[in-house]
Chains A and B, each alone.
Chain A
Amino acid sequence: MGFLTPALLGGVALIALPIILHLIKRRQPKRIDFPALQFVRRRQAANRRRLNFRHLLLLALRCALIASFAFALARPTIKGSGLRGKEGAPLAVALVIDNSVRMQYAYKNNTRLQDAAEMAKGLLRQLPEDSEIAVFDLSRTGAGFVIDAGTAEARVQNLAAENNPRPLADALREAIQLVAERKDSRQEIFLFSDLNTDAFTESALAGINESLANAPDVRIYLVDVGVEEFHNLTVQPLELRSSSLRQGEPLRIEAPVQAVGTTENPLVELYLQDSKGESIKRGQRVAELDSDGLGRVVFELADLPLGSHQGEVRLTTADPLQADNTRYFSVEVRPAAQVLLLGVHDDEVLFLREALSPSLVTDRQWVRFDCVTELYSKAAALDLSGFDAVCLVNPPPLSDELWQAIVDYADRGGGVGIFLGHLARASDFNNITPQKLLPGQLKRKSRLATYLSPQRMDHPALSGLRNFAAEIPWQVYPVFQHWEFADLVGDAYVIARYANNDPALIERPMGRGRSLTMTTSVSDPLEPVGRDPWNLLPTGPEPWPFVALSNQLVGYLAQRENRLLEYLAGETVTIQLPPQQRVSSFVLRQPDGQSLRRSLPPGEDNIRISTTSELGNYRVASGGQSRQLDRGFSINLAPELSQLTRIAPDALLASLPEQQVKLAKSLGDVERYVDIGRSGRSLFPWVISLVAIVWGAESLLANRFYREAP
């Protein structure tokens, strides 16, 4: 309890006046002669007591009237919130506004962000002029105190929804740290949030608690702008069978749809951009929702021409949160990769060739690899530059010229696969030139039976097998012999090992290309003449793992692995340029149609793009009409950003320090908090009402008492 004008409390002393008047100038009653006094006398005692009581009551009312008047004029205030502040100190205020994309949820014609901004602006207008104000949002940039309230208001006004928000707790902790630096000020933070569970995870709360513990003077007013009952339709991340299609391979897109708070089956549309970048509707389906609100639609597009293709799957049904109603996708349709298989004779490469390019498949359009088989003896005459990958199957000792040609090929960006077998000789292979390709000195042949046992499938060469990692029975395909290396060179990297931990697959970068060495044969016959087979990988029962592994490895060498074409907002996109391609500048076309011209440093074989905050399809092009480079990628919203589940305010408050955090639901609450925090809640209206009541009672009693007797 406090008073704005405590001096006026002295007026309470004036209650002495009615007391003195009561004592010395008691009002004389009307004197009346009345003979029938005997009837009055009988009940006189009770009446006198009542009379005295009324006298005292009237006196008490008059005293109360004066006291309450003085009390009201002293402008009493109450610190009802229990929030302790430094009375009279200037304010250091931070506004932390959750501007994640889910704050675009519309309710009563306003998005949550608009509501938050309106409240924040209303609050800013209430703040004293000498306040220090900082505005924090969930963009990646930090914030400090702004020059004045006008600047802060402009910042609030210009807040846009962030597709790639940082955690709210981070912004809040930053704000706590900032205002806590103003030791002499009252440190207040207004957090505008929809109380999403994603923003207040256990770790986030722990972090906030830690920051608050270090800043005991900081007060947080949590302004809830969320909606209790929400409904939303979401297109979940699209499921594409592959982002890289062979020509003629149909594009199959599965679009999971999730509905919360609504049972209406939404209409889903598929749009594909044409060569001019305009979206053409290519299909529509109604998503049948199950009892959990989940549904799924499947689109299939055939006959996509070579090149990059982009499109989007969108809901036509309107819902309060629009940002998650569209998902973008990019695919590439590419011709079959040219692969050169070198062997001592044709039989040596039979299994590998069949795995890569099955001769039984008559429709060649479906074949990923276009294999050319050649003998080592004739290899020197070949122009390797026409091939996307070169595979040395069971290589014998080769001429230095051929080794050098292969090294040159790899340096220029080619992929070389070396599948060591029984023909390899350590003495020859440990020479200088082959060692440029190999990951180390050949040591010896190991004859300990083992099997492939790739532990991690995160390398691009194996990532295609990741989904089947647990299902591949590698032990069914034993490896009886493999080469061991003495020491791996520094830049060599083991991709996979055998069960006995010896390296099985080793990659070595070569200039702009790479070499991949497998320490056992990949194309050994079941019963080779005069020797035992090195492994049963191609000849074991149902050797589908071999086919998959061969496709992955050669695909990686030919750089035909599934390129990542979908990213989340804010992620840095890397586009690897083709080995032989020289790009000095490129144009980035953004989803809004704006094109940015960028230059690339000489020798750079990757294009990195970090301005990916906007959702949609991006296009990177170079070479003008010739379309020397034309690649696309898509930026989508992180799926968790469309989850609208709220944390219960009580639960949230319970997990934060009670003395430091208060919850508000409206601007009125916020203003009251500001008012309370600054000068306490004014009790004037209540006290003046009390004065009126006391006054009324006094008048009533006095009139009744001192009514002029007739």
Chain B
Amino acid sequence: MATVEKYLKPEVIRHISRLDLRAQFIVKGFLQGLHASPFHGFSVEFSEHRKYTHGDNPDDIDWLVYAKTDKYYIKKYEAETNLTGYLVMDLSASMAYTHDQELTKFEYSICLAAALCYLMIHQNDPVGLITFGERIVDSLAPKSKRQQIGNILSLLAKLKPRDKTDIGQSLNQVAAMLKHSSLVMIFSDLLTDPDQVIAALRRLRHGGHDVILFHVLDQAEIAFPFEGLVELRDPESQEVIELDADSYRSEYLEEISSFRTMYEVECRQSGIDYVPLDTSMQFDRALTEYLINRRNRG
């Protein structure tokens, strides 16, 4: 389990735990946010009684209470609270990239996924894992047992990002695969044609899934820190471009900025949470910030 521990670093767990224990309202909010489920199905778990008012379903009247108190009370059951979460991990070769950071984008994503997985399991929510390259590569059925963390992390640890990627196609597959509304957490650098990705994201959303898009980029991809004459090679396509980094930096920064802005706008329009991240950010802090933001929004 050394590999698992690698991703669930004690300080991260501590931080997350601390988040859980000391800022429970946040966690609650987070969980509530996550559990903002529209489903009001049947459940054996009693929640509460309240007085019957006109318009309530008469079927919900608790006759035993009526018998005892001679008043009409509605019996509320706790709604479906277990929301299935899916960690959708991009396995493209570009995710294995880091320029000078400690973690590659993939490792950074695993750390993030592990933390979220820990949180979900902690709340007894089932979590599954889907990895994709050009198509779905591997998947792990959602479970809420504590062993699930180990399962997910050990699977992730075995995976090597090496493929070419087709995010749009893969997300379409994911959308087709998920039967119930789920929380889909996508970890990708999105370095592909954005149109297909956005279309797939919309389809996911349209399928009733709650989608969080963690857009993970390397710090070098954000800041373009190169100087002088450089030859850049795409690890996926092996394409090579030679350029003068100094003169190109500002143009690149414009490009990457507009790229992220475009995703942000599209996601907002589609009701998707877009979380731009780069590998130089403390992922736990980034996650916390995100959760707080989400709670506030919620």
Contact = CB atoms under 8 A, between A and B. Distances in A.
A348 to B, nearest CB: 127
Contacts of A54: 244
B252 interface: yes
A706 to B, nearest CB: 6
Interface in A29-82: 29-44, 47-48, 50-51, 54
A709 B228 contact: yes
A43 B93 CA distance: 24
Contacts of A34: 97, 99, 220-221, 232-234
B235 interface: yes
18 contacts: A30-B229, A31-B231, A33-B234, A34-B220, A34-B221, A34-B233, A35-B218, A37-B234, A37-B237, A39-B252, A40-B241, A44-B243, A51-B229, A704-B228, A705-B228, A706-B228, A709-B227, A709-B228
Contacts of A30: 226, 228-231
A490 interface: no
A527 interface: no
A47 B100 contact: no
A624 interface: no
A438 B93 CA distance: 147
A50 to B, nearest CB: 6
Contacts of A32: 99, 226, 230-233
A50 B217 CA distance: 28
Interface of A: 27-44, 47-48, 50-51, 54, 704-710
Q: Which 6 A-B pairs have the closest CB atoms?
A: A35-B94, A39-B255, A707-B228, A29-B229, A34-B232, A37-B234
Given A29-B229, A32-B233, A707-B228, A37 B241 contact: yes
A44 B221 CA distance: 16
Nearest to A27: B229
B245 A35 contact: no
Nearest to A36: B221
B227 A710 contact: yes
A33 B248 contact: no
B106 to A, nearest CB: 11
Interface string B235-249: 111010111111110
A51 B242 contact: yes
B234 to A, nearest CB: 4
Contacts of A40: 232, 241, 243, 248, 252, 255
Contact of A29 (B217, B231, B234): B231
Contacts of B251: 43, 47
Interface string B183-200: 000000101000000000
B66 interface: no
Secondary structure class of chain B's binding surface, majority of residues: mixed
A43 B248 contact: yes
Contacts of B243: 40, 44, 47-48, 51
Nearest to A35: B94
A33 B236 CA distance: 10
A709 B235 contact: no
B227 A35 contact: no
Interface size on B, as a range, is 35 or more
Contacts of A51: 229, 242-244
A35 B248 CA distance: 16
A42 B255 CA distance: 9
B265 interface: no
B298 interface: no
B259 A39 contact: yes
Contact of A35 (B228, B230, B236, B252): B236
Contacts, number: 110
Contacts of B256: 36, 39
Contacts of B255: 39-40, 42-43
A705 B99 CA distance: 21
A33 B233 contact: yes
Contacts of B97: 33-35
A51 B244 CA distance: 6
B280 to A, nearest CB: 14
Given A32-B233, A35-B218, 11 more contacts: A29-B230, A29-B231, A36-B94, A36-B256, A37-B232, A37-B239, A39-B256, A43-B248, A44-B243, A47-B244, A47-B248
Contacts of B10: none
A31 B239 CA distance: 12
B225 interface: yes
B278 to A, nearest CB: 11
Nearest to A708: B228
Contacts of B244: 47, 50-51, 54, 705
B242 A704 contact: no
A707 B244 CA distance: 10
Interface in B72-105: 93-94, 97, 99-100
A50 B247 contact: yes
Contact of B234 (A27, A35, A43): A35
B228 A36 contact: no
Contacts of A707: 227-228, 246
Nearest to A707: B228
Contacts of B232: 32-34, 37, 40
B246 A704 contact: yes
A413 to B, nearest CB: 113
Nearest to A28: B231
Nearest to A30: B230
A38 B236 CA distance: 11
A710 B246 CA distance: 12
B96 to A, nearest CB: 9
B115 to A, nearest CB: 24
Contacts of A41: 239, 241
A43 B255 CA distance: 9
Contacts of B247: 47, 50
A48 B233 CA distance: 15
A322 B241 CA distance: 87
A48 B239 CA distance: 15
Contacts of B227: 707-710
Contacts of A47: 243-244, 247-248, 251
Nearest to A39: B255
Q: In this complex, which of A29, A31, A39 has the most chain B Cβ atoms within 10 angstroms of its Cβ? A: A39
**Which of A34, A50, A706, A710 has the most CB atoms of chain B within a 10 A radius of its CB?**
A34
Choose among A37, A50, A54, A707 the residue with the greatest number of B CB atoms under 10 Å from its CB: A37
B233 A709 contact: no
B191 A38 contact: yes
A295 B97 CA distance: 104
A707 B256 CA distance: 24
A36 B100 contact: no
B262 to A, nearest CB: 12
B217 to A, nearest CB: 7
A32 B225 CA distance: 11
A51 B251 CA distance: 15
Contacts of B231: 28-32
A401 B217 CA distance: 153
Nearest to B253: A39
Contacts of A37: 232-234, 237, 239, 241
A48 B226 contact: no
Nearest to A41: B241
B6 to A, nearest CB: 23
Contacts of A44: 241, 243
A50 B246 CA distance: 12
A50 B243 CA distance: 9
B128 to A, nearest CB: 27
A395 to B, nearest CB: 126
Interface centre among B93, B218, B225, B229 (most CB of A within 10 A): B229
A33 B241 contact: no
A710 B230 contact: no
A31 B231 CA distance: 5
Nearest to B165: A35
A138 B247 CA distance: 74
Contacts of B99: 32, 34
A708 B256 CA distance: 24
A204 B202 CA distance: 106
